[in-house]
Amino acid sequence: MAKNLARPKFEPKDETDLVRAATEALPAVFPNPERLSCPEAITLEAIAARCLSFPDIDNLLDHIATCSPCFTAYTVYRAEYCSRRNRRRCVAGVAVLTVVIAAGYFGRRALSPTQRPPEQIAEVIPLTAVLDFHNRTSERSAQAPVSEPQVTPHLRRALLNVQILLPLGTEDGQYSVQLRNNAGGIATQSTGIAKWDGTTETLSARIDMRRVEPGKYTLALRNGTSSWRQYSVFVD
């Protein structure tokens, strides 16, 4: 009679080691310093809370598994969610995502030289832009037309580190940033952090404008689930 071989157990420590290895490998393999195609922070937080009803959920999961900044943010949100929920569900969810990351990591290493994607030769250095809205008001309803300031600011078609000076009374925190065309479509989007520096509430965000067509746009800002603040801008 054949002997039954004992199956090795996958202990919690092994799970932790696997997640740590994937986290250490991601910055080198999938650094994404420009945060290209990254979903909003509220989307990452929703996925971490197991709200998986997004239309492009498969693409979002693939992006998280191959983007170091998004995976790091997802891990933080997931840990926060798991502290309020059952820790066993947290272990199972992180294990699934870790397997996906490991498969992508080792799959890329196994590609032949002719199949490997071209390596990035040099990192693009972002330009600095300042948008001064601290003395202006904005429409806070998505259906209402955007109020027109006396002078509409201009943005260049480049990778930008944008400093947005917000009106007095704006709250600190993480903001969603969207650049919308005249039809209401999103030309590009990002996230940023707003802080009070003692004189002005300043929102700092990196926005990739390189694929945005020239023209007039609406810059929409929102803190969490609050109403959108909207301002007109030109893209040159």
- With respect to residue 5, please indicate whether it lies within any of the assigned structural domains: no
Q: Is residue 6 part of a domain?
A: no
Residue 198 and residue 146 share a domain: yes
Q: Between helices 57-65 and 87-109, what is the axis angle to 10°?
A: 70
Q: So what's the pLDDT on residue 105?
A: 59
Same domain, 200 and 133: yes
Q: Is the dihedral of CA 26, 30, 31, 37 positive or negative?
A: negative
Name the phi and psi angles at 208, rounded to 5. Answer: -90, 110
Do residues 52 and 137 both lie within one domain? no
Convert the pLDDT of each residue in 131-164 to its tens digit.
999 887 644 444 444 454 468 999 999 999 999 9
Within a domain: residue 208? yes
State whether 202 and 131 are in the same domain: yes
pLDDT by position in tens, the chain (length 236): 555 555 455 455 555 665 666 666 666 667 777 788 888 888 888 887 777 676 677 788 888 888 888 888 888 887 787 776 655 555 666 666 776 666 665 555 555 555 555 555 457 899 999 999 988 764 444 444 445 446 899 999 999 999 999 998 899 999 999 999 999 999 999 999 999 988 999 999 999 999 999 999 999 999 988 999 999 999 99
Question: Which DSSP state fits 139?
Answer: B
Question: Is 7 among the domain residues?
Answer: no
Chain-centroid distance, C-alpha 218: 20
Whether residues 142 and 206 fall in one domain:
yes
CA distance 191 to 42: 10
The percent of residues in the chain predicted with pLDDT above 90, rounded, is: 36
- What sign does the dihedral 157-162-167-169 (CA atoms) show? positive
| CATH classification of the domain holding 228 | 2.60.40
99 with 176, same domain: the answer is no
Residue 230 is part of which domain span? 127-235
Q: What domain count does the chain have?
A: 2
* DSSP for residue 7: P
Residue 218 to residue 19: CA distance in whole angstroms? 40
Q: Is residue 2 part of a domain?
A: no
